[in-house]
Amino acid sequence: MRLTSSRQELASKLALVGRAASSKSTIQILSHVLVTAGPDGVELAATDMELSLRVPLEADVAEGGSVAIPRLAGDIVRTMSDGEVAVEHRANEGVTTVSGGRSSFSLNCMQAADFPELPGAADGGALTIPTANLVETAERVVKAASRDETRPVLTGVLVSHGPDGLTMVATDSYRLAVKRSSLEGTPAEVSEAIVPARALAELGRLAAATKADTTEIVIAGGQAQFRLGGVVLTTRLIDGQFPDHRQLIPDTFEHEVVFDRGELGAVLARIAVLAQRNSPVRLAFDEGKVTISTISEQVGEGREEIPIAFTGEPMDVGFNVEFLRAGVESIDGDEVRFGVISPLRPGLLSGTDDDYRYLLMPIRLNA
């Protein structure tokens, strides 16, 4: 196999596909990128057996073939001088040469025949969605997904598609994010699947790299496949019963106060500097104002007051400050609506004209 490509093209595509390669597996070849050159062009591929990526590479092919090269090849190419870079491998040899300008590297490689078989094109009807809508929806909910692998269902995002459009839901049991997007040509029946949050988080990077206007989604056979700009991302679905978000979000709230989103975010950012990992931020609601404060035994105490339209009995509610900040930052528009019931019931953040909801469990405060 011998091919040539521009340094920028090769480096960017190796970096993109390398995100699917494993950095922890004891199976060595999973830390490699499969390079396949043929009459139809060049494709780079990587997998960790849960998620796989196929990425096209613009290159001139002098001789076809395939080889699995180390993921760090992308770091090497990125540091080379601008110009053409050649990748060459002789069949059945254990070395691949990467050269360009005055640089030449001989990298230990593995045989393509030992690389795991990658998923092909998913069967089933493809749903075509504007990429910008898909990425925005995913980015605003994945932050609420759990990272605790002992509860695999919560490490995923419930993706639902039906008459109401596209809905994504994520929760780590402390917070819950729901985003609904209206789409054209939605089906009459609802289909649901739990997609790993990691896979959805990759969509933003793929969209930026490909600049694709639309993304095709196929969910079938226990996997989800996303196709955009020639790139194909395939991931296994997560089995299990996802919590019913409709039952978790209260229908009514005792109080709904409106904040300036920028002001609230800035106050929380300052207070977060003092808040320790397990120290809650206190929101003390009183007539016409809320006082946001925290206490750190090691550092000290901070408090800030924001005027709001609050009436009724004073109420103190505690939250995880980073979770609260994440919810505020996910709201579109200039205003944040904050629904509260009591110090022991969850609060709900939402925008004024946006189909996004962020439910947050409180933290019990010491008197």
Please identify, among 114, 147, 162, the residue that sits at the C-terminal boundary of a domain: 114
In the predicted structure, residue 185 carries a pLDDT above the cut 70 = no
The 3-state secondary structure of the chain reads CEEEEEHHHHHHHHHHHHCCCCCCCCCHHHHEEEEEEECCEEEEEEECCCEEEEEEECCEEEECEEEEEECCHHHHHHCCCCCEEEEEECCCCCEEEEEECCEEEEEECECHHHCCCCCCCCCCCCEEEEHHHHHHHHHHHHHHCCCCCCCHHHHEEEEEEECCEEEEEEECCCEEEEEEECCCCCCCCCEEEEEEHHHHHHHHHHHHHHCCCEEEEEEECCEEEEEECCEEEEEECCCCCCCCHHHHCCCCCCEEEEEEHHHHHHHHHHHHHHCCCCCCEEEEEECCEEEEEEEECCCEEEEEEEECCCCCCCEEEEECHHHHHHHHHHCCCCEEEEEECCCCCCEEEECCCCCEEEEECCECCCC
Q: Could you report the per-residue pLDDT of 86-111, keeping only the tens digit for each? A: 999 998 889 999 999 999 999 999 99
19 is a domain residue = yes
169 is a domain residue = yes
In the predicted structure, residue 237 carries a pLDDT above the cut 90 = yes
Residue 208, domain extent: 127-244
In the predicted structure, residue 25 carries a pLDDT above the cut 90 = no
Q: Are residue 217 and residue 317 in the same domain, yes or no?
A: no
Q: Are residue 79 and residue 158 in the same domain, yes or no?
A: no
Q: Are residue 13 and residue 101 in the same domain, yes or no?
A: yes
Q: What pLDDT score was predicted for residue 26? A: 85
Q: How many domains are contained in the chain?
A: 3
275 is a domain residue = yes
Q: Are residue 140 and residue 153 in the same domain, yes or no?
A: yes
What average pLDDT does the segment 51-68 reach?
A: 96
Q: Are residue 185 and residue 257 in the same domain, yes or no?
A: no
Q: What pLDDT score was predicted for residue 267? A: 96
Q: Are residue 226 and residue 260 in the same domain, yes or no?
A: no
In the predicted structure, residue 174 carries a pLDDT above the cut 80 = yes
Q: What pLDDT score was predicted for residue 295? A: 87
Q: What pLDDT score was predicted for residue 186? A: 63
Per-chain mean pLDDT for the chain = 92
Q: Are residue 162 and residue 221 in the same domain, yes or no?
A: yes
Q: What pLDDT score was predicted for residue 365? A: 87
Candidate from 24-28, 57-61, 156-160, 240-244 with smallest mean pLDDT: 24-28
d(CA 92, CA 111): 7
Please identify, among 114, 144, 178, the residue that sits at the C-terminal boundary of a domain: 114
Model pTM greater than 0.95? no
Q: What pLDDT score was predicted for residue 163? A: 81
Q: Could you report the per-residue pLDDT of 321-353, keeping only the tens digit for each? A: 999 999 999 999 899 999 999 999 999 999 987
d(CA 125, CA 127): 7
Q: Are residue 334 and residue 283 in the same domain, yes or no?
A: yes
What average pLDDT does the segment 63-90 reach?
A: 95
Q: What pLDDT score was predicted for residue 299? A: 81
**Residue 24 neighbours by CB under 8 Å, 6+ apart:** none
In the predicted structure, residue 367 carries a pLDDT above the cut 90 = no
Q: Could you report the per-residue pLDDT of 262-273, keeping only the tens digit for each? A: 999 999 999 998
Q: Could you report the per-residue pLDDT of 273-315, keeping only the tens digit for each? A: 888 666 789 999 999 999 999 988 778 889 999 999 999 899 9
Q: How far apart are the first and last CA of the chain?
A: 71
Q: What pLDDT score was predicted for residue 206? A: 95
Please identify, among 227, 244, 261, the residue that sits at the C-terminal boundary of a domain: 244
366 is a domain residue = no
Q: Are residue 204 and residue 256 in the same domain, yes or no?
A: no
Q: Are residue 255 and residue 351 in the same domain, yes or no?
A: yes
In the predicted structure, residue 188 carries a pLDDT above the cut 70 = no
Q: Are residue 256 and residue 319 in the same domain, yes or no?
A: yes
Q: How far is CA 311 from CA 3, 308, 317, in A?
A: 71, 9, 15
CATH number for position 70: 3.10.150.10
119 is a domain residue = no
